[in-house]
Amino acid sequence: MDNEGKSLTVTQGQSLPTATTVKDEDLLKIKSKLTPEQLVQAQNYAVALKDSRQNAITDYGKEVQDKMSQFTDEVIGNVKSKEVGEIGDTLQSLVTSLNSADPEKLSGDKKPKIFRLFKKIKDSVFEMTAKYQEVSAQIGKIATKLENQENDLLKNNDMLDEMYTANQKYFQQLNTLIVGGQIRRDELNKEMAALQANVDAGNADQMDVQNLQDMKAQADRLDHRLSDLMLTREITIQQAPQIRLIQNNNSVLSEKIHSSITTAIPLWKNQVAIALSLLSQKDAVKAQDAVANTTNELLKKNSEMLHESTVDVAKASQRGLVDVDTLKETQENLISTIQEVMQIQSEGTQKRQAIEGELAQMEDHLKTALIPSDSKTEQ
């Protein structure tokens, strides 16, 4: 039924609203989705609202609203505690580490890139392996951190599943409360209509008029409560997709992390292993070339030495024990020696003869000197 725009006259010029701010068609939709058990609970709520105390309507559904408020704070806290920014920073660190050691930069044809990568002019496999071991250690730490963050995201999704279930429970409770309130609101409309008719007939006293005013106040407060409950119900409706969106974001991040751990990192390590193997092979080829070159040089030098040695031996084998030139030289030396000796002997003979002559003269001179002068005269 549509009660909007209708009113009950209390006294001349005074009106009393007979409809809530909630549309009847919305209430009918809500009521149609209640289970039989929930309908019974809504009837019980309507009976409880017959309490004449002022706070009966004020406290109606307040407990559920308070729980909903706490629940909303938990959802917001969960969103803040996910630290999506930190996960993004971790993934960025992983990308930076992977880029800092790109296996393609190991190519020997791109030495400038290698120099920039290692910041020194070294292209040995040892240096490159050391660099990649350092990067691998960094990536290992990042992978461990990502695994922890992935586990946190999965735990958050489990908790959000519980929150989603709780949100559905609050939604059903609010539906029951709203239907119960509307049942009581319809009852108040009927009670006010009957009392209004009694007042119009002039059969009501002052207390009847006061009761009518009290019913009006109750109806007004109940309208407000139903409106508040509808707003709270709308929050539960909005929170359902919000929770699912958070869970979906968690799942996407979890998949990204899992893909990084199980695909990107192993692929990077595989490419590094291949690159290092190729470099090792290249160094092995260079080493083999160096060995071959050294062997060739040694063979050349040995052949040269063998040639020289063989020629020298052949020459030596064809040479006599004493050379003719040596014999000539020794003969000349011998002849020269004999001649010199003969000359020396001849000179010695001449000197001896001269000395003998001089000695004879000396002897004569001595004899002459020894003969007296008288004897010389007699003679």
Per-residue pLDDT band for 89 (boundaries 50, 70, 90) equals low
Q: Which residue has the higher pLDDT, 152 or 78?
A: 152
User: Residue 375: what residue type?
Assistant: S
How far apart are the C-alpha atoms of 260 and 254, rounded to whole Å?
10
Residue 94 lies in a domain: yes
Tell me the percentage of the chain whose pLDDT exceeds 70. 68
d(CA 83, CA 213): 56
Whether 257 and 87 have beta carbons less than 8 Å apart is answered as yes
Q: Are residues 148 and 257 in the same domain?
A: yes
pTM: 0.55
pLDDT at 176: 92
Name every residue whose Cβ is closer than 8 Å to that of residue 344 and which is 6 or more positions away in sequence. none
**pLDDT reported for residue 37:** 93
Q: What is the pLDDT of residue 285?
A: 62
Alpha helices in 101-205 (DSSP H): 111-118, 125-200
Task: Give the pLDDT score at 330.
Answer: 81
- Would you say residue 152 lies in a domain? yes
83 and 220 Cβ atoms separated by less than 8 Å:
no
Residue 19 pLDDT: 39
Is 204 in the same domain as 140? yes
- Whether residue 112 sits in one domain with residue 16: yes
Query: How far is the C-alpha of 194 from the C-alpha of 221, rounded, in Å?
Result: 20
CA distance 373 to 47: 208
Residue 259 has pLDDT above 60, yes or no: yes
Do 187 and 66 fall into the same domain?
yes
Task: Please indicate, yes or no, whether residues 272 and 338 belong to a single structural domain of this protein.
Answer: no
Q: What's the mean pLDDT in 2-27?
A: 45
pLDDT tens by residue, 35-84: 899 899 989 988 888 877 778 888 888 888 788 778 777 766 665 555 55
How many structural domains comprise the chain? 2
Residue 88 placed within a domain:
yes
**Can you spell out the DSSP letters for 121-134?**
S---HHHHHHHHHH
Average pLDDT over residues 174-178: 91
Residue 249 has pLDDT above 50, yes or no: yes
Q: For residue 308, tell me if it sits in a domain.
A: no
Q: Is the pLDDT of residue 157 over 80?
A: yes
Same domain for 132 and 74: yes
Q: CA dihedral in degrees (194, 23, 4, 53; nearest 10)?
A: 40
Residue pair 138/101 in contact by the 8 Å Cβ criterion: no
Between the CA atoms of 54, 58, 61 and 67, what dihedral angle is there, to the nearest 10 degrees? Answer: -130
User: According to the model, what pLDDT value does residue 55 have?
Assistant: 80
pLDDT at 179: 92
Any idea what DSSP says for residue 103?
A: G
**Per-residue pLDDT, 288:** 64
289 assigned to some structural domain: no
Whether 249 maps to a domain, the answer reads yes
Q: Is residue 311 part of a domain?
A: no
Distance in angstroms (rounded) separating the CA atoms of residues 128 and 273:
11
Q: Are 260 and 146 in contact (CB under 8 A)?
A: yes
Query: For 213-227, what is the mean pLDDT?
Result: 89
Does residue 173 share a domain with residue 115? yes
Q: Is the pLDDT assigned to residue 113 strictly greater than 50?
A: no
| Total Cβ atoms within 10 A of residue 112 | 9
Cβ neighbours, 10 Å, residue 286: 11
What is the distance between the alpha carbons of residues 126 and 249, in angstroms, rounded to a whole number?
43
The residue with greater pLDDT, 157 or 283, is 157
Q: Domain for residue 379, yes or no?
A: no
Tell me how many helices (H) and strands (E) the chain has.
Answer: 11, 2
Q: Give every CB contact of residue 235 below 8 A, 6+ residues apart in sequence.
A: 68, 72
Angstrom distance (rounded) from CA 256 to CA 254: 5
Q: Are residues 131 and 264 in the same domain?
A: yes
- Alpha-carbon distance 262 to 271, whole Å? 15
Sign of the alpha-carbon dihedral angle for 373, 374, 375, 379: positive
Lowest mean pLDDT among 1-10, 24-33, 57-66, 368-377: 1-10
- pLDDT reading at 281 higher than 50: yes
For residue 10, the model assigns a pLDDT of: 36
Mean pLDDT rounded to a whole number for the chain: 75
Lowest-confidence pick of 119-133, 185-199, 341-355: 119-133
Does residue 262 sit in the same domain as residue 333? no
Burial call 33-42: b when 16+ CB within 10 Å, e when fewer: ebeeebeebb
Full residue range of the structural domain in which residue 155 is found = 7-283
User: What is the per-residue pLDDT across 306-359, written as a single tens digit (0 to 9) for each?
Assistant: 888 787 777 766 666 566 777 788 888 888 888 888 888 888 888 888 888 888
Looking at the predicted structure, is the pLDDT value of residue 151 above 60? yes
